[in-house]
Amino acid sequence: MVRMGGRSRGASNPVFHKAIPTHYANLMMQYMVATRLKSLVGDLELSNFDMPYWNIAHPPIKPRASQAVCMIGEEHHVDLARIAYLARHGIFDRFEWHGYGQRLEYFPEVEETRTLFSRPDITAPVFDGDAVVCPIRGGEILDARHPGYTVVPVDFYADVIEEMGWRPIFMGQTDDNAYMRALKHRFPHAQIMQHQGTLEDFQIIRSATNVILSISTFAWLAAWLSHASTIVLPVYGIFNPALFSLHDLLPLGDDRYRFYQLPPQPAVPLHELLDVHAAMKGQWHHVGLQDLRRR
């Protein structure tokens, strides 16, 4: 934390302001962190957490000249107890948060979080029984702009789907590219769904009985909020805390999850992707709680 100014006098309720632009899953996770903080500081006002698609409205609150401001700059670690102490005692009355907080220990319990993000009016196909929903993350990550945002190998899907006896539905960012052509070639009879809309795609994942996650906070959050029977989580990319220790999105105490360890391969551009995946073939395995909690 970086502190600015001294204690303000005659201040109103403390303010927790999201200072960086985000949207959808990242914003939802930030709001989950802010909600957890508000449970510790009852009169805390949230600022810049507007999500009209979830009927959540916390517009930006402008700073006042008299406020004592605390800058919170760490990307994913948030000392909630410390912030709560500073707010309750009036040491600072505005907190400018420049992070994401993508760690399970900062989130409310899943049952509480489900009530935060509720839109029963949104209709989307429901896939149950032996169907498995496989959200595809494509778009901008295909240029390897972040080493931890990468694409799940086609052979990984094939091995898990064969092992579990599932019928795959691939959905999300399924626009034509070399990866999608390889996926369609491997699964010629699979259902491929185009993008249905942001909330509709979220609801498809959230209502599924079985899910194989892509390396995506969007898919991760939709599955976590679901009542799925089985969620396959590749310990890969940002989901591997041994490589990306600032994140922690492995719900180790949740028996819906099956974890598979993949090689520590960083993202590569699309034109290299299939060759890299071919070299990784077969180098993944199911891992249990004992293996993962040692990290």
Whole-angstrom distance, CA of residue 276 vs CA of residue 265: 8
- Strands in 2-4's sheet, in edge-to-edge order, are 2-4, 69-72, 94-97, 15-18, 45-47
In degrees and rounded to multiples of 5, residue 167 shows phi and psi of -110, 115
Boundary residue ending a domain (117, 147, 169): 117
**What confidence tens digit (pLDDT) does each residue in 68-125 have?**
999 999 999 999 999 999 999 999 999 999 999 999 999 999 999 999 999 999 999 9
Q: Are residues 102 and 225 in the same domain?
A: no
pLDDT attached to residue 4: 52
Decide if 180 is inside a domain: yes
* Domain carrying residue 136: 131-294
Q: Are residues 257 and 227 in the same domain?
A: yes
Assess contact for 76 and 101: CB atoms under 8 A. yes
pLDDT attached to residue 2: 55
pLDDT attached to residue 63: 93
Enter the pTM of the model. 0.94
Q: Which residue has the tokens 């409205």?
A: 57
Average pLDDT across each block of 10 residues of the chain; the chain has 295 residues. List them in order.
50 92 96 98 97 97 93 94 96 97 97 96 95 94 93 98 98 96 97 95 98 98 98 97 93 96 96 97 92 73
pLDDT attached to residue 278: 97
Q: Are residues 172 and 51 in the same domain?
A: no
pLDDT attached to residue 225: 98
Boundary residue ending a domain (91, 117, 143): 117
C-alpha radius of gyration, the chain, whole number: 21
pLDDT attached to residue 139: 87
How many domains would you assign to the chain? 2
Decide if 215 is inside a domain: yes
Of 57, 61, 51, 45, nearest to 23 by C-alpha is 51
Q: Are residues 26 and 56 in the same domain?
A: yes
User: What distances in angstroms separate CA 52 from CA 33, 55, 100, 119, 213, one per listed residue?
Assistant: 18, 5, 20, 11, 26
* Structural tokens at position 17: 């302001």
